[in-house]
Amino acid sequence: MSDDHHIPTAKHGLNPEPGERLARPFERFASLSSSGGIVLLLMTAIAMIWANNDYDSYKEIFNDTEIRITVADNPHDTHGGHDDHAEHGDDHGGDDAHHDAHAGEDPEEHTEEHADNPVEEAAQDVEQAVEDLSFTDTAHNEGHVDEKGDKHAWHELPNEPYWWQGHSIAHWINDLLMAIFFLVVGLEIKREILVGELASPKRAALPIFGALGGMIGPALIFVAFNAGKETIGGWGIPMATDIAFAVGILAMLGSRIPNSLKVFLTSLAIVDDLGALIVIAVFYTENLALEYLGYAGIVIGILAFMNLLRVRWITLYLVLGLPLWYFVYMSGVHATIAGVLLALTIPAHARVNAINFVFSTRKALDVFENAHDDPEFDVKQSSVRRASVNAIIKNARQVLPPLHRIEYVLHPWAAFVIIPIFALANAGIEIHGGIGENLSDPAAIGIILGLFVGKPLGIILLCWFACVIKVASLPRGVSWRHILGAGMLGGIGFTMAIFIANLAYANSQSHLEHAKLAILVASALSAIGGAIVLLSCKSAPEPEPETLGPLVDDDDDD
């Protein structure tokens, strides 16, 4: 997402500082529409190479290493009524002997002895520290517990913890970190519905029909190859489109691709994401816990009431998002849905309108300009100019809705941190046997044909149907070959497809590996095929706005 529209900022024309020179290549790369897809592709390649060269270390880091969050009593608290020494007195043989050896010593004599020999005391302290470190490592690796109550060692909790959550790193990534990604997806969906391409029913009809075809077609093909088999649960895998890859490839093709086609594919992918979210929430949810679902409903009610009251304090929404995530997670619904639910409650209305913003900001600029005769006078030396700048900042926050502010901040994190980490943790597939053997699995066949054939076929058929019944029309400068190429790019189902595969085949490692490999193969075929089709399209530049005559609102047409 890029909202700068190449508008110069205050530092435009200035000589770059050393830190800016270092950061400039990264900023230029991040500004590319294709950069997110490139990073995603790179992390996928790293995961595949890593898993097939040293799968044990890959599995140990992402699947075997547990991170636990625990709320419990302090195990070092000797005043809490828990006498660990009394409970485990029989296990202290070596430690008791150590204490008995010094039982007859006079503490004062012991202190004087060490006071007279500071070097010896320091040496003993270092030796004891080394022993403690060694014991800690042993306790951690072998599961032993330091019964001496040493603060540097691992300890068992004296009682059951009040609350704890312990999961592998991959599980935390897929359930917690990806909730932030789904928050961004939810914000994009809400923005498009309110003020974007999906806000106008006539403009939204074509991508909506295309997205429906792009979900129904792949699902039917998958079911055809997996009906009656244990792999049938993966029918939702080929339904999703990876917007980062698809839009990134469009950007790589350059100006020969009409902007209206980019808008169409982006809108289609957003509707596709919405459909995938509904599928996850409805069909990949088991054992609903109604109590926690009720708690989640209460939090959503509070968030909606805050929206109704026009509360625009973003931090409060994000803080309430934490208990919402936990309650959704405990309810049995996939926890990432909490990100979408939170997004739907984020205010999308500005506090001030454009007229007030222009008036107040211009006044602040006038005060800033007239605060001193010297235009080069440093801002930090003028309290009036500092107050003017703060007023402009406040105006900017009030004219930009919280929804857009959160999306603007989180989108780079989602594109360059969360999704690449997700790819690294999930794309590491250890290939056993030949490629043909792995892809002969019914689930793999259904996924490949669903994404590579079902996606473009479903998209182009329902788009054609929408045009036939005259509820939609092709955008200016877009041909049916363009729609076919965009439909093939829709077959790139990387992120969301792998995400659904983790849910569908959580209890079958072999089917999961076959499904992930099939997703990678189908996405590669779709990317190459879509690019070839679009490159074969004739370059037809869109007419300039001034040659189109007076602008009219399509929604007012009969």
Q: Across the chain, what does the average pLDDT equal?
A: 78
Q: Residue 523's closest CA among 175, 237, 232, 229? A: 237
The SS3 assignment for 165 reads strand
d(C-alpha 236, C-alpha 269), whole Å: 15
The end-to-end CA distance of the chain, in Å, is: 34
Average pLDDT over residues 96-102: 45
In a 13 Å sphere around the CA of 449, the CA atoms on its Cβ side amount to 17
Contact, 275 vs 183, CB < 8 A? no
- pLDDT of amino acid 509: 86
Contact, 272 vs 207, CB < 8 A? no
Contact, 455 vs 481, CB < 8 A? no
The per-residue pLDDT for range 72-95, each reduced to its tens digit, is 766 555 444 444 444 444 444 444
Average pLDDT over residues 211-236: 93
Element (H, E) at 67: strand 66-71
- pLDDT of amino acid 174: 87
Record the tokens describing residue 144, joined without a space. Answer: 């032993």
- pLDDT of amino acid 506: 86
The backbone torsions φ and ψ at residue 104, rounded to the nearest 5 degrees and listed phi first, read -85, 0
User: For residue 552, with 0-12 CB atoms within 10 Å meaning exposed, 13-18 middle and 19 or more buried, which class applies?
Assistant: exposed
Q: Which residues contact 205 (CB under 8 A, 6 or more apart)?
A: 466, 471, 472
Where would I find the H helices in 450-545?
455-468, 480-489, 494-504, 509-535
Q: Residue 169's closest CA among 68, 69, 70, 63? A: 63
Q: Does residue 543 carry a pLDDT above 50?
A: no
Q: Does residue 456 carry a pLDDT above 70?
A: yes
Q: Which residues contact 201 (CB under 8 A, 6 or more apart)?
A: 555
Least confident among 53-62, 421-430, 448-457, 542-551: 542-551
Q: Residue 44's closest CA among 498, 368, 550, 515? A: 498
Q: How confident is the model at residue 277 (pLDDT cuts 50, 70, 90)?
A: confident
- What's the distance, CA 518 to chain centroid? 23
- pLDDT of amino acid 46: 93
Q: How confident is the model at residue 107 (pLDDT cuts 50, 70, 90)?
A: very low
Top pLDDT among 35 and 504 is at 504
The per-residue pLDDT for range 118-156, each reduced to its tens digit, is 545 555 554 554 444 443 343 344 444 444 444 444 556
Count of C-beta atoms within a 10 Å radius of residue 80: 12
Contact, 495 vs 43, CB < 8 A? no
Least confident among 144-148, 268-272, 506-510: 144-148
Where would I find the H helices in 17-73?
18-31, 35-53, 55-59
User: Residue written as tokens 């519905």?
Assistant: 193
Average pLDDT over residues 205-215: 93
Least confident among 1-15, 165-179, 419-433: 1-15
Q: Does residue 220 carry a pLDDT above 70?
A: yes
pTM: 0.71
- pLDDT of amino acid 464: 95
Q: Which residues contact 85 (CB under 8 A, 6 or more apart)?
A: 92, 147, 149
Return the amino acid letter for 396: A
- pLDDT of amino acid 98: 46
Q: How confident is the model at residue 226 (pLDDT cuts 50, 70, 90)?
A: very high
Contact, 261 vs 250, CB < 8 A? yes
CATH: 3.40.50.300, 3.40.50.2030, 1.20.1530.10, 3.10.20.30. Which one for 33-59+203-277+411-540? Answer: 1.20.1530.10
Record the tokens describing residue 436, joined without a space. Answer: 């043909």
Q: Does residue 183 carry a pLDDT above 70?
A: yes
Q: Does residue 273 carry a pLDDT above 70?
A: yes
Could you give the C-alpha distances from 280 to 295, 333, 427, 499, in angstroms and in order? Answer: 20, 8, 20, 10
d(C-alpha 398, C-alpha 365), whole Å: 17
User: 70 forms bridges with which residues in the sheet?
Assistant: 164
d(C-alpha 54, C-alpha 420), whole Å: 20
Q: Which residues contact 533 (CB under 8 A, 6 or more apart)?
A: 481, 484, 485, 488
d(C-alpha 268, C-alpha 462), whole Å: 12
Q: Does residue 305 carry a pLDDT above 90?
A: yes
Top pLDDT among 106 and 168 is at 168
d(C-alpha 15, C-alpha 18), whole Å: 10
User: 480-489 and 455-468 are packed helices; what angle lies between their axes, rounded to 10 degrees?
Assistant: 140
Q: Residue 83's closest CA among 159, 162, 163? A: 159
The SS3 assignment for 76 reads coil
d(C-alpha 494, C-alpha 522), whole Å: 9
**3-state percent helix, strand, coil for the chain, nearest multiple of 5:** 70, 0, 30
The residue ranges of every structural domain in the chain are 33-59+203-277+411-540
Q: Residue 451's closest CA among 501, 483, 489? A: 489
Record the tokens describing residue 149, joined without a space. Answer: 């109550």
Percent of the chain with pLDDT over 90: 30
Count of C-beta atoms within a 10 Å radius of residue 284: 17
